[in-house]
Chains A and B, each alone.
Chain A
Amino acid sequence: MATSFLPRRPAIRFNRRQITLLSIALCTLFLVAIVFSNRFMGDAGLDPALTQRNQPPSLTHLFGTDWLGRDMLTRSLHGMSLSVRVGLLAASFSAIIGTGLGLMAGTLGGKVDAVITWIIDVFFSLPHLVLLIMISFAIGGGTKGVIIAVALTHWTSLARIIRAETLQVNSSDYVQLSYKLGRSPFWIARHHMLPHMIPQLLVGLILLFPHAILHEAALSFIGIGLSPHTPAIGIILAESMRNLSTGYWWVGVLPGLLLLLAVQAFDTLGENVRALIDPKTSQG
């Protein structure tokens, strides 16, 4: 071992696989903590305490307090928890649509494939946010509007990946042989396609979450998403707009930072899971 001759070797040293596993564990822990934070934080910080209005961040109130004296850390965590749950739900629906259409396009081919590819192209030719606003508006806004809008708009890239993967596997020798042996398309989809799809699907799903959460927050921020009475992160940031000019920077900056961290945790999680299960990188 060449490394053993190196002087002053650090006491703890991880290899790449261990670092990957460690990042996955840390990100998962952080996200699970956010989702369940409203359970163990309690609602105590949500009650107005007028004697403690507009306090800057301190040890008792890490994120400061807002104009009603509510603890911003509690509010932000409640909001983040809600936004992450809404994002998870919407992204999961979206993944189901994407997988279904991608598999259909890849296996049935011909006209079905042409139509689905064209629908994907149409979706790509409209700005994402405009589409979200339009669908959310047509459904009548609210939580339902956001979930449906996000679910209906985020499936396209996953469907493209699944379609390409299906086409590739479908043209491989062992699948062709399987057809010749008289296996039904359904049997082939289940035994030959699915094992290839599941890693792609898992990574695709995890990487969908950050987009879904950001778009949910954006819709709530402009006032078309979740109702103003829910403590969603977008609502908190929209409220903070009113207090910006008075110099209460913490009501806007810190909740946004939390949102940024959550989104990055999802991104890191997705990239590391990909590195771990993608055969191209898992051996490296």
Chain B
Amino acid sequence: MQLGIAAFMLRKLLRLALLLIAVAIFSFVLISLSPIDPIDAYVGADMLQISPEQRDIIAQRWGLDQPMMTRFILWLRQLASGNLGTSIIFNQPVSTVIGSRFQTSLQMLAIAWLLSGALGLAMGVVAGARAGSWLDRAIRFYAYTLAASPTFWVALLLLLVFSVSLKITPICCATPPGVLTKDVTVWQRLHHLILPAATLSLIGVANIALHTRQKLIEVLNSDYVLFARAQGESLVGIIRHHGLRNIILPALTLQFASLSELFGGSVLAEQVFSYPGLGKATVEAALRSDVPLLVGIVFFSALFVYTGNLIADLTYQIVDPRIRIGKSS
């Protein structure tokens, strides 16, 4: 058993290394082929005040006069030692920027993730248990509509209703304006992340609810449920003893796999609410040509999604009795 998990982890780590190398090659090729001149992007508005000699000095300092292969190897060596470079717009190491921005996003992502998982599962169970009823129709209609809605538009609607009309939530940012970071209370933080988190959960619910509903209907149509019913088991009992066990594992995998969608959604939600998290940093990096930060975020997001899938695989190994027994025997 112990050996099994160790081998499993080793295999997963190898795959991760391979993935990161692929992402490195991909980003390097993409950025090298790009028509954006790195010196122009760096100099920005001061372009006219820079002489060709000064440009050459910058190019030399950055190693832009080297051939592509040498540049790639040099960059890879830096990456391997953990140096992601310096962000141009924040003037800080990329890892520091990503770290602090992700911390701001993390609470919002976590709340959205937990809420959409729990709500989606509950809605799916209700819809599946009462398949064909008006409640089922309403839940399905909701899920299909939300799955087709643009994230930023849902965010915009929430902002309009709760911040502009009802004035019960703040209109932007992660903290109230004019308050020092250390003076911000937990309540104020929560108050500011309610809307972005709600946006992401409202949309995240759709997929898992539809999936759970489908799965529960399959279970309820099975022979063992027919037998349980013949023995006089109630619907609630059937769902508790037969339904949930079969539903929860695929739902967990789905929910961990949705981390990729969640990350993408956070980019849009943070943009609407001006929430200074990692998603907003992604947009800023792209709009203001901050290549080191953008590449850093691409790496980080790959790592984030990979970790999510890895946790899903691990829970399968630990939770599912069939896989567990199959391994030890």
Contacts and interface: CB of A to CB of B under 8 A. Distances in A.
Interface of A: 118, 121-122, 124-131, 133-140, 210, 214, 217-218, 221-224, 237, 240-241, 244-245, 247, 249, 252-253, 256, 259-260, 263-264, 267
Contact of A129 (B36, B145, B156, B267): B267
Interface in B281-329: 282-283, 286-287, 289, 294, 297-298, 301-302, 304-306, 309
11 contacts: A125-B19, A127-B264, A129-B263, A129-B265, A129-B267, A133-B282, A136-B286, A139-B35, A247-B164, A264-B145, A264-B148
Nearest to A263: B148
A223 B283 CA distance: 8
B156 A241 contact: yes
A126 B149 contact: no
Contacts, number: 136
Contacts of B95: none
Given A127-B263, A259-B150, A224 B287 contact: yes
Given A125-B302, A127-B263, A218-B151, 4 more contacts: A122-B23, A221-B152, A260-B148, A267-B144
Interface in B4-53: 19, 22-23, 26-27, 30-31, 33-36
A237 B151 CA distance: 12
B159 interface: yes
A222 B159 contact: no
Contact of B268 (A139, A210, A218, A253): A218
Nearest to A267: B148
Nearest to B26: A122
B16 to A, nearest CB: 9
B201 interface: no
B177 to A, nearest CB: 14
Contacts of B36: 137-138, 140
A259 B283 CA distance: 22
B264 A130 contact: yes
Given A128-B261, A135-B30, A253-B160, A214 B298 contact: no
Contacts of B171: 245
B224 interface: no
A252 B155 CA distance: 11
Contacts of A127: 260-261, 263-264, 267, 301, 304-305
Contacts of B19: 121-122, 125
B150 A260 contact: yes
Contacts of A249: 160, 164
A139 B30 CA distance: 8
B291 to A, nearest CB: 8
B152 A134 contact: no
A56 B35 CA distance: 44
Contacts of B22: 118, 122
Contact of A126 (B159, B267, B271, B298): B298
A237 B152 contact: yes
A240 B152 CA distance: 12
A260 B145 contact: yes
A214 B297 CA distance: 22
Contacts of A210: 148
A284 B208 CA distance: 27
Contacts of A130: 263-264, 267, 282, 297-298, 301
A218 B157 CA distance: 15
B272 interface: yes
B133 to A, nearest CB: 21
Given A130-B298, A218-B150, A240 B30 contact: no
B13 to A, nearest CB: 14
Contacts of A140: 34-36
A283 to B, nearest CB: 21
A7 B306 CA distance: 60
A118 B298 CA distance: 18
A154 to B, nearest CB: 13
A218 B152 contact: yes
A134 B107 CA distance: 25
Given A130-B297, A267-B144, A244 B264 contact: no
A93 B268 CA distance: 25
A188 B171 CA distance: 61
B153 interface: yes
Nearest to A255: B153
Contacts of A135: 30
Contacts of A122: 19, 22-23, 26
Give 7 nearest A-B pairs by CB, closest first.
Answer: A129-B264, A256-B153, A138-B34, A127-B263, A138-B30, A127-B264, A263-B148
A222 B285 CA distance: 12
Interface in B155-174: 156-157, 159-160, 164, 171
A121 to B, nearest CB: 8
A173 B268 CA distance: 50
B150 A217 contact: yes
B150 A128 contact: no
A222 B145 contact: no
